[in-house]
Structure 1
Amino acid sequence: MQPELAVSSSTIEKQTGEKPMTALDSIAQVRILTEVLNGWANGIREHEPERVASYFTENALFQGVAPTHSIGRLGVITYYDKQPKGLSPSFRILEHRQLSDSTLISYIDVDFTHPDGVVIPVHLTAVLQYVDGSWLISHYHVSQVE
């Protein structure tokens, strides 16, 4: 008889009292990310900083292209209020992983097109958390592409 090589999730739950992570398939992860990022992008396009901030957690860590970071929605509102009207982001999700039942991490290319046509390409790392029935951005870090 072969020894058991894997420990089943029911065994883990019996031994530790912890339930194993509920895995989302890749399609579900992309759907969640796309829904949140579309809302974020549409808020920017319509120059509605409060709407943009509504896609972030109350204590989100936010680092845009400005030299300083902020914590919370007020920092997100302040940052996007300073952006030009007509700014239009387009994004491509390059990588994504589920870290826990309620956490996704993603690596995204974003092109911010300014009203004058100048495009600012950035890499974005975003962590989403499932909070009170909604997926929200809890960590947002941009790196400019040179």
Structure 2
Amino acid sequence: MGSSERSGTDDIVSGIMGKWAAAFNKLDASALASLYSRNAFFFGSNPTFYRGNDGVQAYFDALPRWSSPTVQFTDVRTAHAAPDVINVAGTATFIVDANAEPLQVKITWVIIREAGEWKIVSHHVSSKTPLIEQ
């Protein structure tokens, strides 16, 4: 992959992450759901599996109404897996209350071009705490 293609991929991903963070900061479930594909698979911070925009919206609607939620994405890696597919991995750090410890998770997304727009088609978060010690 050439550097201009990588730069374009990073721009697409950072744009979606910016929109995602802005919507999360307002706990705007509708705006968050709009970033996802109609065929999205979604595993968030609970064990329930959600599908599509309606499922994503239901997940975010059910979150507690924190007073000042924020998210920061770090260690982001991107790869253009096919012309209309981008693979994303990184860390998401959520701060939901000034007195609470930040919640840090590993996050992976698959982003596709759907009807001319880039949408998240697969969303998965998991604990940064190792499940198996090596």
TM range (shorter): 0.7 to 0.9
Counting only pairs closer than 5 Å after superposition, residues 32-71 of structure 1 correspond to structure 2 as 32-71=12-51
Residue deviations 1:61-81, cap 9 Å, x none?
A: 000010111111111111111
Task: Determine if contact 1:128/1:138 at 8 Å carries over to the other structure.
Answer: yes
Change beyond 3 A, Cα 1:24–1:114: same
- Among 115, 120, 143, the alignment partner of 2:97 is 115
Q: CA RMSD in A?
A: 1.9
Please list every run of 5 or more consecutive structure 1 residues that lacks an aligned counterpart in the other structure: 1-22
Q: Which runs of 5+ in 2 are unaligned?
A: 130-134
Query: Normalised by the size of structure 2, how large is the TM-score?
Result: 0.86
- Which amino acid is 1:99 matched to? A
Shift in Å at residue 124 of structure 1?
A: 0.4
Which SS does the other structure have where 1:138 is aligned? strand
1:1-146 → structure 2 map (5 Å cutoff): 25-85=5-65, 86-118=68-100, 119-146=102-129
CA distance in 2, matches of 1:50, 1:74: 9
- Mapped to 2, the partners of 1:93 and 1:24 lie a distance apart of 20
Q: Counterpart of 1:107 in structure 2: which amino acid?
A: A
Q: CA deviation at 1:24?
A: 6.0
1:73-94 Cα offsets, whole Å, 9 max, x none, are: 1111111112233221110243
- Offset of residue 115 of structure 1: 2.0
Q: How many residue pairs were aligned?
A: 126
Per-residue displacement from partner, 1:95-127 (whole Å, max 9, x unpaired)? 111111100001011001012342100000100
TM-score normalized with structure 1 length? 0.79
Give the counterpart letter for 2:110 in structure 1.
V
Larger Rg: 1
Query: Identity of counterpart residues, as a percentage?
Result: 23
